[in-house]
Amino acid sequence: MDISWNERYNQKEYVYGELPNLFFADQLNKLAVGSIVLPCEGEGRNAVFAASKGWLVKAFDISIVGKTKATELANKHNVILDYTIAEALTKNYTENSVDVVAFIYAHFSAMDRERIHQKSIQWLKVGGRVVLEAFNTEQQKNNSGGPKDLSMLYTQEMIKEDFKDLNIELISTLEVNLQEGKYHRGKSNIIRFVGIKNR
């Protein structure tokens, strides 16, 4: 287990804030309520938002501290999460069982990324969606968060290849001003993606 995530989350404040990622919230608000998987969910801000909207939420992360804080946030909002401690490479859900898989700043090593992304497609029902927001390779010039390892940052080409079995509804790279707690703050270069499973 990567102890650095436990260390990062082991403080009173929610280090990425208590509010959901804006793109994630906007996408979810457009959809009929269903079931969702949130990999690498950390302190639970997106999971709690989804649950508060009536979604059946399955989330996982490697950090025990993250799960504890997510549970506290869920209790604060009177919602229930199915949150487990697991590695993204080994975690599995039933095939064709969920409506959305959302990767919100879930960055992986180059050797693991494609495998994890491909696996997530299997969990989706036909018509289900992958929703993704992450830092793109231009983020290296900023001090607003994200991995320092260039190979863990995304390009449109990577995303299109990883999710080539999905129909692309949206893909864009843009510069935004993130205000998500103290670790996602300031000018940021990101990529957003929505893909739909059609078969």
Q: Which tokens sit at 67?
A: 């799960």
Q: What distances in angstroms separate CA 122 from CA 47, 110, 127, 171, one per listed residue?
A: 21, 20, 12, 21
Percentage of the residues of the chain whose pLDDT score is greater than 90: 96
CB atoms within 10 A of CB 33: 12
Q: Is the pLDDT of residue 1 over 50?
A: no
What CATH code is carried by the domain that includes residue 150?
Answer: 3.40.50.150
- Residues facing residue 37 across a β-bridge: 58, 101
Q: Is the pLDDT of residue 117 over 50?
A: yes
Kindly report, residue by residue over 126-182, the tens digit of the pLDDT: 999 999 999 999 999 999 999 999 999 999 999 999 999 999 999 999 999 999 999
Report whether 37 contacts 83 (CB < 8 A).
no
- For the residues 105-112, what does the mean pLDDT come to? 94
Residue numbers of the domain that contains 36: 3-197
Q: Is the pLDDT of residue 112 over 50?
A: yes
Dihedral angle computed from the Cα positions of residues 22, 181, 114 and 195, in that order, rounded to the nearest 10 degrees: 0
Write down the pLDDT at residue 101.
98
State how many domains the chain has. Answer: 1
CA distance 173 to 35: 27
Write down the pLDDT at residue 100.
98
Kindly report, residue by residue over 171-189, the tens digit of the pLDDT: 999 999 999 999 999 999 9
Q: What distances in angstroms separate CA 139 from CA 45, 78, 113, 150, 183, one per listed residue?
A: 23, 36, 18, 9, 14
Write down the pLDDT at residue 95.
97
Q: Which tokens sit at 22?
A: 């804006």
Q: Is the pLDDT of residue 2 over 60?
A: no
- For the chain, what is the mean pLDDT? 96
Q: Is the pLDDT of residue 3 over 60?
A: no
